[in-house]
Amino acid sequence: MVTDDIRAEVLELRAQLEDWNYRYYVLDDPGVPDVEYDRNMARLQDLEAQYPQLVTPDSPTQRVGAAPLDGFSTVRHEVPMLSLDNAFDAQGLVDFQRRVIDRLGTVDALIEYCCEPKLDGIAVSLVYRGGRLERGATRGDGSTGEDITANVRTIESIPLRLRGAGYPEVLEVRGEIYLPRAGFEALNATAREQGEKTFVNPRNAAAGSLRQLDPRITASRPLEFCCYGYGLVDGGSLPATQSAILEQMREWGQRINSDMRVVEGIEACEAYYEQLAVRRDALPYDIDGIVYKVNSLGLQERLGFVSRAPRWAIARKFPAQEEMTQLLDVEFQVGRTGAITPVARLEPVFVGGVTVSNATLHNADEIARLGLRIGDTVVVRRAGDVIPQVVSVVLEKRPADAREVSFPQSCPACGSAVEREESEAVLRCLGGLVCPAQLKAAIWHFAARRAMDIDGLGDKLVEQLVDAGLVKNVADIYSLGKEQLMGLERMGEKSADNLLAALQRSKSTTLPRFLFALGIREVGEATALGLARHFGSFEALASASESQLLEVEDVGPVVADHLRQFFDDQHSMAVVQALRSAGVHWDDIEVTPAQALPLAGQTWVVTGKLEAMGRNEAKAALQALGAKVAGSVSKNTDCVVAGPGAGSKLGKAQELGVEVIDEATFMLRLRDFGGGV
């Protein structure tokens, strides 16, 4: 028996969950922590399992649940889904405006345009009837597409029911389904780990995810939806401008782009383009241009269409993020830990705003997966600040004399034996610090600003010192004399004096910096800080057992193992001893119990791009100081660290009056808190 109370609770839970979803996805302002959402969802699932007669297709529990399909059926778009004309430069925009004005006859005022980032994803149509999501379909050829209802239902930013009131009986919402960059990188990282084929770009990954016959697979992909327009409207009406329609769509629960703006005149359109071009790399998703739409629907109607594109809209494209070029050779670089990485040498090509002539190939598996041969024509992608990648081979262009890539049997830098660890795809030189490539990298790391901060010990100098045999381990740099230095290329008396002074200064350091500088595998700045705070002294750390090491936050079995190997290695410890004898010193740290850590009880949020540290390092450093790091800003947030490109979280913090600091201030604070990294 379903009592009224139960029925009421189910309705209330649904309304509550929908509301939280709306706040999270549309307003970008989660009302409650995830656990609270999960608790309510679990309660609703329980009730629906107990009373199956209460289950409705638009319940938030029903996003996944449809059985795998045999194939997609075809649907007709009652209102065709058009495409856009492109403009590739500022002149293209001016020409567009000319055509608009010519057609409209004289216009007294500047024309108003709605400017929207052009998301690089898959166009979809969502039909709502009576406010309920009835059908989701791909664009297809514009007249007919594929029915992907079961898949779109799994995307949480797509409401299963419209909110509020006043929506037309039939409302076709149009927009783009896309995969944010972070989701794309994560998906490919997993594919790489499992030896599976990677996706070429987020757009292909989004398309592949939507084309799944099993909606559970789609549900596992972090797809998002953004509304940019409408199709069929029946039994109701929409506002009279594109921008007002989007605002209205937002009220009805649809997510729209927060960078949508209305501007007057084509020059303002170009200015908008320039502003977004600067921010393009920092956006969390790929955009391939800006779409400009004449804002007034009245004017749109007068302008009409030509073949498959409206005369009232145009896409101003950004420079491409993918280009073709030739693979000239594959070389092998030896890193600080001996890892040997294949690097593609490319015919220089302009892509994603820079000239690219090298790209990492990760490892042997990656080369095999790509089926790469030297001489091949390849597609190179550079999007955001991600390092350039070779994403595919253009097989049709393979020359007859293309060569297989052969991996070195010994270290290309020192000739030592190499090994391929079983669990790793990585080839590693076993030469240790005998290997000049590893030694050079170790010294660069040791001297880095965030490590021992030795000003003037640059790449070229380290090369010379190692090649001339003057430095055989990091401690040797402290016994360099002025005469020796002056014997080197491009080293005058003044530079030699400066370097000696910098070396002298660097001897006074902190324990976290010193630990980081040693370059122990997997011990980054944050881990070094955590270790220093936990053990307080080098001796306590060096004599810690594996289980004591595991007590440190962030230290897992792998890191603990690397640490023990380092401290058990006579050669490494002899270098540490030599450094101390040379005068390198630091103060021990008072060991602080967790609740006495300087940021204990505080919640911080890190957003935007951090240039010096990287977001993960920053988070780990905060955790080491006792702070909780949250993914979203609320009134309980104590401080937000915001780098360039910070978006809605920054806005939210400002709205709530939460303290916001930039990266430079953040670094100063870390130093003040004794996180002297």
Among 84, 227, 454, 471, binds ligand IVH (CB under 6 A): 84
Q: Min. distance of Cβ 301 from ligand IVH in angstroms?
A: 13
**Binding segment (CB under 6 A) for ligand IVH, from list 307-315, 379-387, 584-592, 593-601:** 307-315
Residue 558: name the closest of 525, 512, 605, 523 by CA: 523
Nearest to ligand IVH by Cβ — which residue? Answer: 123
Beta carbon nearer to ligand IVH, 257 or 637: 257
Cβ partners under 8 Å of residue 487, min gap 6 = none
Catalytic residue status for 118:
yes
Q: How far apart are CA 46 and CA 69, in angstroms?
A: 27
Q: Which of residues 312-341 bind ligand IVH (CB under 6 A)?
A: 313, 315
Q: Min. distance of Cβ 628 from ligand IVH in angstroms?
A: 37
Which residue intervals of 194-305 are DSSP H helices? 202-210, 215-219, 242-251, 266-279, 297-303
What sign results for the dihedral spanned by CA atoms 473, 477, 478, 481?
A: positive
Beta carbon nearer to ligand IVH, 311 or 382: 311
Q: Min. distance of Cβ 322 from ligand IVH in angstroms?
A: 16
Q: Is 234 left (phi over 0), alpha (psi -120 to 50) or beta?
A: beta
Q: How far apart are CA 258 and CA 467, in angstroms?
A: 55
Kindly state whether residue 116 participates in binding ligand IVH, applying the rule CB under 6 A. Answer: yes
Place of tokens 């783009």: 176
What x-and-dash track marks residues 150-189 binding ligand IVH by CB under 6 A?
--------------------------x-------------
Among 83, 204, 220, 473, binds ligand IVH (CB under 6 A): 83
Helix 202-210 × helix 181-193 angle, to 10°: 80
Helix, coil or strand: residue 155: coil
Among 140, 265, 310, 644, binds ligand IVH (CB under 6 A): 310
Residue 181: name the closest of 368, 36, 383 by CA: 383
Total residues at interface with ligand IVH (CB under 6 A): 15
Q: Min. distance of Cβ 126 from ligand IVH in angstroms?
A: 13
Q: How far apart are CA 353 and CA 154, in angstroms?
A: 36
Phi, psi of 611 (to 5 degrees): -75, -45
Q: Find the length of the chain.
A: 677
Beta carbon nearer to ligand IVH, 116 or 224: 116
- Contact 497/511 with Cβ under 8 angstroms? no
Beta carbon nearer to ligand IVH, 313 or 380: 313
**Binding segment (CB under 6 A) for ligand IVH, from list 76-84, 90-98, 521-529, 642-650:** 76-84
Kindly state whether residue 625 participates in binding ligand IVH, applying the rule CB under 6 A. Answer: no
- Contact 634/30 with Cβ under 8 angstroms? yes
Q: How many CA atoms lie within 13 A of 318 on its CB side?
A: 28
Kindly state whether residue 123 participates in binding ligand IVH, applying the rule CB under 6 A. Answer: yes
Kindly state whether residue 291 participates in binding ligand IVH, applying the rule CB under 6 A. Answer: yes
Q: Min. distance of Cβ 79 from ligand IVH in angstroms?
A: 10
Beta carbon nearer to ligand IVH, 203 or 373: 203
Distance of CA 309 to the CA centre of its chain: 33
Beta carbon nearer to ligand IVH, 235 or 304: 304
**Binding segment (CB under 6 A) for ligand IVH, from list 113-121, 144-152, 197-205, 277-285:** 113-121
Kindly state whether residue 286 participates in binding ligand IVH, applying the rule CB under 6 A. Answer: no
Q: Min. distance of Cβ 127 from ligand IVH in angstroms?
A: 17
**Binding segment (CB under 6 A) for ligand IVH, from list 101-109, 118-126, 159-167, 432-440:** 118-126
**What would the DSSP string read from start to end of 463-520?**
HHHHHTTS-SSGGGGGG--HHHHHTSTT--HHHHHHHHHHHHHHTB--HHHHHHHTT-
**Binding segment (CB under 6 A) for ligand IVH, from list 310-318, 444-452, 544-552, 561-569:** 310-318
Beta carbon nearer to ligand IVH, 61 or 201: 201
Single out the catalytic residue among 118, 440, 649, 652: 118
Among 6, 82, 104, 578, binds ligand IVH (CB under 6 A): 82
Among 119, 471, 477, 589, binds ligand IVH (CB under 6 A): 119
Kindly state whether residue 292 participates in binding ligand IVH, applying the rule CB under 6 A. Answer: no
Beta carbon nearer to ligand IVH, 77 or 118: 118
Q: Min. distance of Cβ 118 from ligand IVH in angstroms?
A: 4
Which residue intervals of 51-175 are DSSP H helices? 90-104, 149-152
Helix, coil or strand: residue 293: strand
Q: How far apart are CA 647 and CA 262, in angstroms?
A: 19
Beta carbon nearer to ligand IVH, 306 or 394: 306
**Bridge partners for 114 per DSSP:** 262, 293
Beta carbon nearer to ligand IVH, 142 or 556: 142
Residue 530: name the closest of 623, 614, 441 by CA: 623
- Contact 609/617 with Cβ under 8 angstroms? no
- Contact 155/122 with Cβ under 8 angstroms? no
Beta carbon nearer to ligand IVH, 315 or 613: 315
What x-and-dash track marks residues 223-262 binding ligand IVH by CB under 6 A?
-----xx---------------------------------
Distance of CA 194 to the CA centre of its chain: 21
Strand spans (E) along 130-208:
132-138, 144-146, 170-178
528 sits in which H/E element: helix 525-535
Q: Min. distance of Cβ 142 from ligand IVH in angstroms?
A: 9
Q: How far apart are CA 121 and CA 283, in angstroms?
A: 14
Q: Min. distance of Cβ 139 from ligand IVH in angstroms?
A: 6
Q: Min. distance of Cβ 306 from ligand IVH in angstroms?
A: 12
- Contact 162/131 with Cβ under 8 angstroms? yes
Distances in whole angstroms, Cα of residue 613 to Cα of each of 12, 455, 578, 674, 677: 45, 19, 30, 17, 10
Kindly state whether residue 114 participates in binding ligand IVH, applying the rule CB under 6 A. Answer: no
Among 14, 63, 77, 118, binds ligand IVH (CB under 6 A): 118
Residues in contact with ligand IVH by CB under 6 A are 82-84, 116, 118-119, 123, 139, 176, 228-229, 291, 310, 313, 315
List residues with catalytic annotation: 118
